[in-house]
Amino acid sequence: MILTVTPNPSVDRTLEIDALVRGEVLRARVARAEAGGKGVNVSRALCRHGVATSAVLPVGGAEGAQLTDLLAEGGVSAVAVPISGATRSNITVTETDGTTTKLNVSGPALSEAETDALLAAVDTGLAEEPRWLVASGSLPSGVSGDFYVRLARRAAERGVPVALDTSGTPLETAARSGSLSLLKPNQEELSELLGRELPTVGDVVSGAREVLDWGNEAVLVTLGAHGALLVRREHSWLARGPQVVPRSTVGAGDCSLAGYLSAREAAPSERLRSAVAWGAAAVALPGTTVPGPDEIDPAAVDIVEDPDPALIIKEL
């Protein structure tokens, strides 16, 4: 079983329009609502592939009820921790050419008692000895920036490896405290973490190795349309995915992480192949829709071990 925790989940609302024009009245062709939030999406993607998973998340208000219903409809096992605030709705606008614009809301604050209840729900999940704990997404206000460090300590006590996908202060705090089995920043998040631009493959690999030096095991850096780099101490691997016609990039990173974790007992390069295949498949689907097994083509992913450090990422 893979346990995910999403402290700030959302109902993802997507509006599909022809082209976004500021200041105009635009009519949406399609409006959809899907369960969202980073760990929630990892669980949804794993569930579509028959991988056992459980999603822990706080829920409140009418959107919280809708989120719980959406997860139940999708057959995703969830532990919903009740909170007094209302779960957020994040808005995505997708245009015909695949341009995706996201408007993320900060979400409800969690009280200390609600934060403790969330931690207790994770503890209960950890007692079931999951093969991974996935800690993902932004932290709601009221939750201290070291929340993921606290989670990682609890997981370590049970010998459960932790995969982290977040940004800003929560990423920096957890990454610097070490002991994470996997971090999944995108190129921009890694660059922000290290405080410098990372235009080449060599820049990303050496930046990720700096993060490994803080006591972490592996870094999966997703590069949007340019694929992904997996960096471990001994080797790094570059994966370039198939060309896809993008429809919505929302949830691509979450599906990449799910693909990486789904590949049981596989060599690092095969885990990376799976990550990029799942991410590319997600981009071809509308809204926050997660791909199923028929939509994924791992054979279309090209992998290079210890790639040329001089390669420029935006030219890949």
Ligand X SMILES: Nc1ncnc2c1ncn2[C@@H]1O[C@H](COP(=O)(O)OP(=O)(O)O)[C@@H](O)[C@H]1O
Task: Please choose, from the candidates 82, 79, 104, the residue with its C-alpha nearest in 3D space to the C-alpha of residue 11.
Answer: 104
Give the separation between CA 143 and CA 81, rounded to whole angstroms: 15
Q: C-beta of 164: minimal distance to ligand X in Å?
A: 12
The listed partner (ligand FBP, ligand X, none) that binds 137, CB under 5 to 8 Å by sort, is: ligand FBP
Options 254, 294, 297, 308, the catalytic residue? 254
Tell me which stretch binds ligand FBP (CB under 6 A): 32-40, 45-53, 141-149, 191-199: 32-40
Torsion over CA: 286, 51, 160, 206 (sign): negative
Tell me whether residue 13 or residue 184 sits nearer to ligand X (CB atom): 184
The reply on whether position 222 binds ligand X by CB under 6 A is: yes
Instruction: Kindly list the strands in the beta sheet with 228-231, ordered across the sheet, starting from the edge strand earlier in the chain.
Output: 78-82, 53-59, 2-5, 132-136, 162-165, 182-183, 219-222, 228-231, 236-240, 302-305
Q: Which of 155, 280, 303, 313 binds ligand X (CB under 6 A)?
A: 280
The reply on whether position 227 binds ligand X by CB under 6 A is: yes
Tell me whether residue 212 or residue 280 sits nearer to ligand X (CB atom): 280
Give the separation between CA 247 and CA 29, rounded to whole angstroms: 14
3-state secondary structure of 10: strand
Tell me whether residue 189 or residue 203 sits nearer to ligand FBP (CB atom): 189
Half-sphere exposure of 192 (CA within 13 A, CB side): 12
Whether 294 is catalytic? no
Q: Which of 4, 43, 138, 216 binds ligand FBP (CB under 6 A)?
A: 138
Tell me whether residue 89 or residue 249 sits nearer to ligand X (CB atom): 249
Q: Which of 41, 54, 115, 289 binds ligand FBP (CB under 6 A)?
A: 41
Give the separation between CA 75 and CA 88, rounded to whole angstroms: 22
The reply on whether position 4 binds ligand FBP by CB under 6 A is: no
Do the beta carbons of residue 131 and residue 2 sit within 8 Å? yes
Mask of contacts with ligand X, 242-271, x by CB under 6 A?
--x-x--x--xx--x---------------
Q: C-beta of 212: minimal distance to ligand FBP in Å?
A: 22
The reply on whether position 228 binds ligand X by CB under 6 A is: yes
- Ranges assigned E (strand) in the chain: 2-5, 10-16, 30-36, 53-59, 78-82, 88-94, 100-103, 132-136, 162-165, 182-183, 219-222, 228-231, 236-240, 302-305
Q: C-beta of 27: minimal distance to ligand X in Å?
A: 26
The listed partner (ligand X, ligand FBP, none) that binds 115, CB under 5 to 8 Å by sort, is: none
The full DSSP string for 228-252 is EEEE-SS-EEEEE------S--TTH
Give the separation between CA 41 and CA 293, rounded to whole angstroms: 16
With CB atoms as reference, the residue minimizing the distance to ligand X is 253
Tell me whether residue 126 or residue 174 sits nearer to ligand X (CB atom): 174
- The binding site for ligand FBP (CB under 6 A) comprises 8, 10, 12, 36-38, 41, 90, 104, 137-138, 250-254, 288
